[in-house]
Amino acid sequence: MARTTEPVSLTSASFEELTRELLVRLGEDPQREGLRRTPERMAKALQYLTKGYQEDPKDVLNDALFSEDYDEMVIVKDVEMFSMCEHHVLPFYGKVHVAYVPNGKVIGLSKVPRLIDVFARRLQVQERLTTQIAETIMETIQPQGVGVVIEARHLCMMMRGVEKQHSAAVTSSMLGLFRDCQETRSEFLSLIRSRNSNAS
């Protein structure tokens, strides 16, 4: 298929112009009906999917920190997560489970999913995403410990490469009590696994 546009300058081109160039290089005609507004739509979609770059994760938590004497484990599990793999810019998605043992402060429960989204809405690798969530909670409220587990499916494995449709990656970050105390870690892992038996 012949080119329908001249190559664009990468330094001065808009996102829409770069997308049109990409379509041409893929062998498409960006002027055909179904693709005319694709550059605009793609720009809006990617801006939304990477909006975490514009957000400060500590600001999310600092808006909802409360003094509390509670010192048992707090778990927010099965939080849906969508992110973009930085290696192929393809989605990965799954569930995030977060637990912490307070040390005088607790986080408003709705803020844990918000924190996850701040980091997930960036180009990511699952390992870093897991660590960033755990370390931010640890630094912000200084609990006795934090545990984070992510279970995710990666389209870069499902659609290309090995093309394994049912494979999943599991990552964890254990800090404080969750790293040092086997009993605490085991309790957390047992409680997040229990969702499967409850659902059956």
- Active site residue: 80, 86, 127, 139, which one? 86
User: Tokens 């930085």 — which residue?
Assistant: 86
Q: Based on the residue annotation, tell me whether 87 is a catalytic residue of this protein.
A: yes
Both structure tokens of 159: 């659609």
- Active site residue: 88, 135, 181, 187, which one? 88
Q: Based on the residue annotation, tell me whether 31 is a catalytic residue of this protein.
A: no
Q: State yes or no: 85 annotated in a binding site.
A: yes
- Active site residue: 87, 127, 139, 142, which one? 87
- Active site residue: 16, 151, 156, 181, which one? 156
Q: Based on the residue annotation, tell me whether 126 is a catalytic residue of this protein.
A: yes
Q: Based on the residue annotation, tell me whether 47 is a catalytic residue of this protein.
A: no
The full DSSP string for the chain is ----SPPPPTTT--HHHHHHHHHHHTT--TTSGGGTTHHHHHHHHHHHHTGGGG--HHHHHHTTEEE----S-EEEEEEEEEEEETTT--EEEEEEEEEEE-SSEEE-TTHHHHHHHHHHSSEE-HHHHHHHHHHHHHHHH--SEEEEEEEEEEHHHHTSTT--TT--EEEEEEEEHHHH-HHHHHHHHHHHHHHHHHH-
Residues 131, 127: Cα–Cα separation, whole Å: 6
Q: Based on the residue annotation, tell me whether 154 is a catalytic residue of this protein.
A: yes
Q: Based on the residue annotation, tell me whether 181 is a catalytic residue of this protein.
A: no
- Active site residue: 124, 132, 144, 154, which one? 154
Q: Based on the residue annotation, tell me whether 86 is a catalytic residue of this protein.
A: yes
Q: Binding site residues, as ranges?
A: 85, 88, 156
Q: Binding site residues for Zn(2+), as ranges?
A: 85, 88, 156
Q: Which residues are catalytic?
A: 85-88, 126, 154, 156
